[in-house]
Amino acid sequence: MAGTFKKFSKEDVSNLSQVKSSVARGIRAAICETYPYLEETDIIETLIPKKESVYTGKCGHVTLCVINNTVLFFQERDGPWLPTLRILHQYPEMMKRLRTDKGAIKFVLSGANIMCPGLTHPDAVIHDEGEVGGAVAIYACDKEHAMAVGVLQMSTADIRGINKGIGVENMHHLNDGLWKMPNLS
C-alpha cells in the first residue's frame, strides 16, 4: 500500500463532484479533530472557507478533498485525512513530526515505508509522540522541509521499544503523482 500516489494523474480521478454542505461540514470537522492546530489558528477557514464549495474525487480507495480545483486533503479508506505536502509546507506546525536519518531519504522519496531503524537512528528525532493510526509528517535530518506524510503503524513508544518493522506507512511523498498534480481542471 506504500506509494499510494505512485501513478496518479487527472484521468485517475473519478467522479469529481460537489458535496452537500452537510458532508462538507463533516469533512471539515474531521480535519479539525485530526489537526486541532488548524482550528485554533483558524487556518481551517482559509483552507476550507464556509462559502466555498467542496468537491470530492475518488482515486482507487483514496478520497480527495478538492477546493477551487486544488487537492487539499486526502483520505485512504477510513483513515485520517492527510494534507498534501504543499499544504503541509505552508503550515508545518499542523502535524506531528518525525525525523529520519539521511540514509532513509532516497527510499522515502521512492515511496518506501519508514522502518523503525530509520527513526531510532542516532541522527533521527521523534519530535512528537503518537499512537497507531496517527497522522505524522516525515522530515529528514538536516532538512528544513517535510518530505512525506504518513500514518503511524506502531506507536512511537513501540517504535523505540521494538525497533523492527514498518513504523510509518508512507502515504504521500515529494515528487509523487499527487505532488506533481495539485490542480485538477
Partner 1 sequence: MAEVEAAPVPREPVPPRVVEYDPITGVPAEFNEYLPKDCEEYKKWKAAQEAALTGEGVEKLTVKEKPEEEKKLPGGKKSKKSKPQVLVSVAQRQKNKSTTTVAGLELFGVKLSEAGKLFGKKFACGASVVKTASGTEQIEMQGDFLHQIPELLLKNYKNITKEDVFYVDMADGKKKKNFFADDEEEEEDS
Q: Which residues are near partner 1 by CB under 8 A?
A: 40-43, 45-46, 49-50, 89-92, 105-106, 109-110, 143-145, 147, 174-175, 179-180
Q: Which is nearer to partner 1, 98 or 154 (CB)?
A: 98
**What is the spatial distance between Cα 116 and Cα 162, in angstroms, rounded to a whole number?**
8
Q: Which is nearer to partner 1, 143 or 164 (CB)?
A: 143
Task: Report the nearest approach of partner 1 to the CB of residue 111 (Å).
Answer: 9
Task: Report the nearest approach of partner 1 to the CB of residue 85 (Å).
Answer: 9
Q: Which is nearer to partner 1, 6 or 127 (CB)?
A: 6
By C-alpha distance, which of 138, 101, 105 is closest to 121? Answer: 101
Written as one string, the DSSP assignment of 87-150 is: HHHHSGGGSEEEEE-GGGHHHHTTT--EEHHHHHSTT-EE-S---TT-EEEEEETT-SS--EEE
Task: Report the nearest approach of partner 1 to the CB of residue 109 (Å).
Answer: 6
Q: Strand 54-59 and strand 14-18: pairing?
A: antiparallel
Q: Strand 114-115 and strand 70-76: pairing?
A: unpaired
By C-alpha distance, which of 26, 160, 10 is closest to 98? Answer: 160
Q: Which is nearer to partner 1, 117 or 177 (CB)?
A: 177
Task: Report the nearest approach of partner 1 to the CB of residue 82 (Å).
Answer: 18
Task: Report the nearest approach of partner 1 to the CB of residue 145 (Å).
Answer: 4
Q: Which is nearer to partner 1, 47 or 154 (CB)?
A: 47
Cβ atoms of residues 99 and 156 within 8 Å: no
